[in-house]
Amino acid sequence: MKKTIITALLAIMALAHAGAAKNYPENSDYLWVTVPDHDNWTYKVGEEAIIDVQFYKYGIPRDATIEYSIGGDCLPDDTHGKATMKRGKATINMGTSRKPGFRDLRLTANVDGKKYTHHVKVGFSPDKIRPYTAEPADFTEFWQSNLSRAAAFPLKYTREPAPEYTTDRVEAWLIKLQTDREGHSLYAYLLVPRGAKPGSCPVVLTPPGAGVKRIKRVAEGMYYPENGVIRLVTEIHGLDPRLPETTFDDIRAAFDGRVKGYLYQGLDNRDNYYMRHVYTGLVRCIDLLTSLPEWDGRNVITQGGSQGGALAIIAAALDTRVTLCVANHPALSDMAAAAAGLTGGYPHFTEKDGMLTPEKLETMAYYDVANFARHVKATTFMTWGYNDNTCPPTTSYAVWNTLACPKECLVTPINEHWTSAATDRAQLDWILSKLKK
């Protein structure tokens, strides 16, 4: 069942409430409102998209001349124009698209000597988007070989209490899991319902978003163990989350000062790429979870957003024990499309010179979520937004349209690269409703 948030004004009001206005600067005096003439922001190829644009300062409509440009999803502008606001309103015809995809209206208004910017994307027959990336002929064999090699190493981890996350309802543990014979490891927080009986709990693996950083959003997800679900919240670099933040700063700087630096490492060769041990490490995490006496023996769930959403899908494809998958705007999706001048997924390899060589493009195909999506059997829930420039909606649709498993989605057009707390909490409700009894 496909659900779509279609009322832009209601969404804006919800975003503005309680300082949660992530699409708009918090504590700001100004507000853009952009309302496509199709309520779901979606058109058929060949249909024109008309956008009602409104601008307010202090809640008062302001007249201004808008400069605008239009281009493909995360692609250069191909159209420019101006529009005049009267009583804070103007109408802009975005034209159409002759092929399935997204068009982005980028807006700039000069008001009181300052520039204010905004953008809105609309889709054209996005259900027909297909990935550019092709699956290598030996894709399955390559990953089966890697998984077999990892599985030959005995499950080995340490476990110590994590009092910072322990409550009267949750027992928390800090885990260090060695994932292979090569010495790779990862840290994770294991959250177990206090007093859980043997064989009573589903297990959820939550891999991280991109970056070299501490394990994030542990406390925000305590409602998982509080509702009887064991959760493993991981990082992927083998870095103790108790290290000082200055140490993480130094490590980030060592990866050329950009959080995506490790995603470039070893890309010339599929066997040397940094993410190889990360992908196989996901299965070792599931080995750990399914070894716990509290596991119910039936339900294994993967859940995450951005890079974590990518890893959730990848784990579901690699491990048939996964029964449910929840992925928010997955990264690492249709990455090589940029080589053809199309919309490519994060980490946007075109942003760094020399990243689209034949060798690197060949490696990307073995690590692309679109290729893993074909192999997912678990029932999957996905959510994404149209205004996302980090993990563009084009690449989310490339994954969604490739999934052949039972699936449901929540499309939230106004969202950029985030999900609301309400959406995050609803994902647990979805998981609980789908558990095998």
pLDDT (tens, 9 = 90+) of the chain, 437 residues, equals 433 333 333 343 333 333 333 444 567 889 999 999 999 999 999 999 999 999 999 999 999 999 999 999 999 999 999 999 999 999 999 999 999 999 999 999 999 999 999 999 999 999 999 999 999 999 999 999 999 999 999 999 999 999 999 999 999 999 999 999 999 999 999 999 999 999 999 999 999 999 999 998 899 999 999 999 999 999 999 999 999 999 999 998 887 777 789 999 999 999 999 999 999 999 999 999 999 999 999 999 999 999 999 999 999 999 999 999 999 999 999 999 999 999 999 999 988 888 999 999 999 999 999 999 999 999 999 999 999 999 999 999 999 999 999 999 999 999 999 999 999 999 999 999 999 99
- Catalytic-residue membership of 17: no
Tally of CB atoms within 10 A around 425:
12
Question: Do the Cβ atoms of 322 and 315 come closer than 8 Å?
Answer: yes
Residues 203, 290: contact at Cβ < 8 Å?
Answer: yes
- Residue 19 pairs in a beta bridge with none
Examine the residue annotation and report whether 39 is marked as an active-site residue of this protein.
no
Secondary structure (3-state) at 392:
coil
pLDDT at residue number 351: 83
For 292, counting Cβ atoms within 10 Å of its Cβ (0-12 exposed, 13-18 middle, 19+ buried), the class is middle
Residue of 118, 329, 348, 417 marked catalytic:
417
Buried b / exposed e over 99-126, threshold 16 CB at 10 Å, is: ebbbbbbbbbbebeeeebebbbbbbbbb
- Domain(s) labelled CATH 2.60.40.1930 in the chain stretch across 2-128
Residue 29 annotated among the catalytic residues of the structure = no
What is the pTM (predicted TM-score) of this model?
Answer: 0.93
| Ranges for all domains in the chain classified under CATH 3.40.50.1820 | 139-434
Catalytic residue among 306, 333, 334, 424: 306
Residue 30: count other Cβ atoms within 10 Å of its Cβ: 18
Q: Report pLDDT for 26.
A: 63
Q: Is 48 exposed, middle or buried (0-12, 13-18, 19+ CB in 10 A)?
A: exposed
HEC letters along 206-237: ECCCCCCCCCCCCHHHCHHHHCCCEEEEECCC
Separate counts of helices (H) and strands (E) for the chain: 10, 19
Q: Quote the pLDDT of residue 352.
A: 84
Instruction: Give the pLDDT score at 187.
Output: 98
Instruction: Report which residue type is found at 209.
Output: G
430 burial (CB, 10 Å; 0-12 / 13-18 / 19+) is middle
Please give the CATH superfamily to which domain 2-128 belongs. Macroglobulin (MG2) domain (2.60.40.1930)
**152 phi, psi to nearest 5 deg:** -70, -15
CATH superfamily of 139-434: Alpha/Beta hydrolase fold, catalytic domain (3.40.50.1820)
Rounded Cα gap, residues 312 and 303, in angstroms? 5
Residue from 299, 328, 298 nearest 311 by CA: 328
